[in-house]
Homo-oligomer: A and B are copies of this chain.
Amino acid sequence: MIPATSAAELRAAARRGEWRVTTAGHCPAYQQANVVILPKESAAEFAAFCTRNPTPCPIIEIMPPGDPEPVRSAPGADIRTDLSGYRIYRAGELVEQRGDIRDLWRNDLVTFLLGCSFTFEHALIDAGVSVRNVECGTSVPMYVSSLTCLPAGRFHGPTVVSMRPIPEAQIQLVRELSAHYPHAHGAPIHVGDPYEIGIADLARPDYGEPVQIHPGEVPVFWACGVTSQAVAVKARVELMMTHEPGQMFLTDLPRQGNTRT
């Protein structure tokens, strides 16, 4: 693993093909982002979906058609090269995984950067809360819940949630800390019994890797940015490109603030 202290350094390592692991636990000073790239044809509808479901899909920046530079959140970066891995979907099917998307770029592609819970994990760790997926270096477990999103045109579906086991005594602290990060999903949307939100088996996540729940710990669930990818897959959009799960885009935005202007 390459030590990377700034977001720009991590992006440069990804561009050189030298960063191949999860970004969870790295670059604690900066906001991390989910990436969804769609043709302009479906972009207004997808933007509407995100604004109607701001807890799973908090918008950090939308880039105009054909523009690969996130001028607000990472000036000088290039969204076609600065992720460590990309997934390519055509008509809802995953067709390819690759290290850059320069040759797939088009003038009508609109990039969405959406907040990620990795941003607030650092605040939990700073406050003495251990975050199992960071300890284990694994991708956080994610589940399709029974909580329904507000629809927008062809985009509709359930909320995907991420789960972290938290000792009962720290739950109030964790609620309060994460509530300060509305641009990164904010407070948990469910605490406790997974059945209540339609999750049958915590050992079998729909995305990411399972983690152990120790005695005295309670599963805590946050809305997850993968929600946006799941609805776009379901809508069978002609082309969608995303980050490789767990390998997020590192912005230059400070962890706690959503505004710069």
| Residues of chain A having any CB pair with chain B under 8 Å | 40, 43-45, 47-56, 59-65, 67, 71-72, 110, 149-153, 159, 182, 186, 189, 223, 258-259, 261
A108 to chain B: closest residue by CB: B44
Whether B72 lies near A45 (C-beta < 8 A) is no
Whether A62 lies near B72 (C-beta < 8 A) is no
Whether B56 lies near A261 (C-beta < 8 A) is yes
A58 to chain B: closest residue by CB: B259
The 5 residue pairs across chains A and B that have the minimum distance between CB atoms: A64-B153, A43-B44, A48-B64, A55-B261, A52-B72
16 residue pairs A–B, Cβ–Cβ below 8 Å: A40-B44, A47-B47, A47-B62, A49-B64, A51-B61, A52-B72, A54-B259, A54-B261, A55-B259, A55-B261, A56-B261, A63-B152, A65-B153, A67-B152, A67-B153, A71-B150
Q: Other than A43-B43, A51-B59, give 14 A-B pairs with Cβ distance below 8 A.
A: A43-B47, A45-B65, A47-B47, A51-B72, A52-B61, A54-B259, A55-B259, A59-B59, A67-B153, A71-B150, A72-B150, A182-B258, A186-B259, A223-B261
Copies in the complex: 2
A44 to chain B: closest residue by CB: B43
Determine the chain B residues whose CB is within 8 A of the CB of A50 once the complex forms: 62
A159 and B261 alpha carbons, distance in the complex (Å): 10
Pick from A44, A49, A50, A71 the residue with the most CB of B within 10 Å: A44
The minimal Cβ–Cβ distance linking A35 to chain B, given in whole angstroms, is 14
Determine the chain B residues whose CB is within 8 A of the CB of A43 once the complex forms: 43-44, 47
Whether A261 lies near B53 (C-beta < 8 A) is yes
A150 and B151 alpha carbons, distance in the complex (Å): 30
Determine the chain B residues whose CB is within 8 A of the CB of A149 once the complex forms: 261
The minimal Cβ–Cβ distance linking A20 to chain B, given in whole angstroms, is 30
Pick from A65, A153, A258, A259 the residue with the most CB of B within 10 Å: A259
Pick from A56, A64, A110 the residue with the most CB of B within 10 Å: A64
A182 to chain B: closest residue by CB: B259
Whether A261 lies near B44 (C-beta < 8 A) is no
A66 to chain B: closest residue by CB: B153
A153 and B64 alpha carbons, distance in the complex (Å): 6
Pick from A43, A60, A151, A223 the residue with the most CB of B within 10 Å: A43
Pick from A51, A60, A71, A259 the residue with the most CB of B within 10 Å: A51
